[in-house]
Amino acid sequence: MKTSIIWFLLFVVPCALNAQTKLKVVTTLNYLKYIVEEVGGDRVEVIALANPKQDPHYVTPTPRMNEITHGADLFIENGLSLDLWAKNVLDASGNPRIQRGTPGHLVATSNVPLRELPSEISRSWGDIHPQGNPHCWLDPLNVQIIARNIGERLAEIDPHNAARYSEQTTAFVERISSLLFGERLLKTIGPKAGDILTRKVKSGTLFEWLRERNLLGLLDGWMAQAADHWGMKVVSYHKTYVYFASRFGLNIIGELEEKPGIPPPPQRRDAIVEQVVANQVRVILNYNFYSREAADYVASKTGARVVITYIDVGASEEIPTYEALISYLLRHIMNP
Ligand SMILES: [Zn+2]
């Protein structure tokens, strides 16, 4: 009798609690929160620290952030020196389970193929992007990698629900593939269609490969939208859209910003005006958290259109999801 009570207290009670208690996950950015919710489903409770309407490079840690992270089971950051401010939050959290190097800490982008590595870019950009361009989530193929990283880590710290995390990760990854290529094309190609098409996109041979097989007419979704405007020239405020542009065929001919964080001086604006005219650029991308004064100036001199863009989920009521963020960008940039 005594043994069974001890067994009950030691095993049954903790298991029952475990089955009900959700994993507490804290993310730096809102797009990460969205992915954790998709992959973790009802097993997770997620809070994002940054305001999605603000520049993710510059977030001021607050005592409230320290409180939130104090009880977290898992802390997820974008990494690549974008959310460096996370270190201050971790230091002040008093939570040893989520410190760097522990299973409770994840850099979501650790294996994403990077652009603008320090050796490839001018030193002037080194200050703000010292590890390469960190805005990699704006390429849906990278978000699939990030979702897998998150799914695997959830399974590691909560093995009881590993199968569920795996299923939900697969569902999310497949949904992104469907939005990228269209359901009809995926069904026609059959099993592994998402992987096959991803390889073709990455090698820059998607359209050619589909054309050779008479499948181009079945292409739908984001890649079909992009195909209609491939090579479109744009000007951007900051180097935020290099991954998005590369995936969807935009040609960014220059940035308004000469030095990160410093509004473009008059001579810079005039140099961009010349480039916009010479390249017949029709669209200037200006983020919601930057002044649009320089963009408006260039537009007034050239007739180009200013498109207000976002980079995080939840930055506007129109973009409550990652899928909506990518759809918004494609729609507003490519269909003026
Ligand atoms: Zn940046």
Does the pLDDT value for residue 15 go beyond 50? no
Q: Give the model confidence (pLDDT) of 203-231 as tens digits.
A: 999 999 999 999 999 999 999 999 999 99
274 CA → ligand 1 middle, Å: 25
Q: Spell out the residues 6+ positions from residue 273 whose beta carbon is closer than 8 angstroms to its own.
A: 297, 298, 301, 302
Q: Is the pLDDT of residue 266 over 80?
A: yes
Query: From the CA of 14, how far away is ligand 1's center (Å)?
Result: 44
pLDDT of residue 238: 86
User: What's the rounded Cα separation, in Å, for the pair 213 and 201?
Assistant: 15
Residue 282: pLDDT over 60: yes
Candidates 290, 37, 281, 80; CA nearest to 171 is 37
pLDDT-based confidence at residue 239 (cuts at 50, 70, 90): confident
- From the CA of 134, how far away is ligand 1's center (Å)? 6
Confidence class for position 19, pLDDT limits 50, 70, 90: low
State in Å: Cα 81 to ligand 1 middle: 9
* Dist. CA 125 → ligand 1 center (Å): 9
C-alpha 118/C-alpha 132 separation (Å) is 6
The pLDDT > 70 percentage for the chain reads 90
Cβ contact 299:306 at 8 Å: yes
Mean pLDDT calculated for residue range 302-331: 96
For residues 75 and 68, give the distance between their C-alpha atoms in angstroms, rounded to a whole number: 10
3-state secondary structure of 105: strand
| 167 CA distance to ligand 1 middle (Å) | 33
All residues at 6 or more sequence positions from 86 whose CB lies less than 8 Å from its CB, including other chains:
28, 49, 75, 77
Q: Ligand 1 mean position to 259 CA, how many Å?
A: 11
Total-model pTM = 0.91
Phi, psi angles (nearest 5°) of residue 286: -130, 125
Distance 186 CA to ligand 1 centre (A): 34
pLDDT greater than 80 at residue 114: yes
Distance CA 224, CA 207 (A): 10
Instruction: Compute, in angstroms, the gap from residue 8 CA to the centroid of ligand 1.
Output: 53
- Distance in Å, CA 135 to ligand 1 centroid: 6
Tokens of 46: 């997620």
Give 327's Cβ-side CA count (13 Å radius).
12
Q: pLDDT confidence of 307, banded at 50, 70, 90?
A: very high
SS3 content of the chain, % helix, strand, coil (to 5): 55, 10, 35
Say how many Å lie between the CA of residue 165 and the centre of ligand 1: 31
- C-alpha 152 – ligand 1 centre gap (Å): 27
Measured distance between the N- and C-terminal CA atoms of the chain, rounded to whole angstroms: 76
Q: From the CA of 239, how far away is ligand 1's center (Å)?
A: 6
Give 52's contacts (C-beta < 8 A, 6+ positions apart).
Answer: 29, 30, 310, 312, 313, 314, 315
Across 91-112, average pLDDT: 97
HSE (side-chain half, CA atoms, 13 Å) at 159: 2
Give the DSSP letter of residue 258: S
Q: Are strands 74-77 and 105-107 parallel, antiparallel or unpaired?
A: parallel
Show the tokens assigned to 321: 């999801």
Query: Residue 170 C-alpha to ligand 1 middle, in angstroms?
Result: 29
What is the set of domains in the chain, with CATH numbers?
A: 23-173 (3.40.50.1980), 220-334 (3.40.50.1980)
For the segment 285-291, the average pLDDT, to the nearest whole number, is 88
The pLDDT tens digits of the residues spanning 22-38 come to 999 999 999 999 999 99
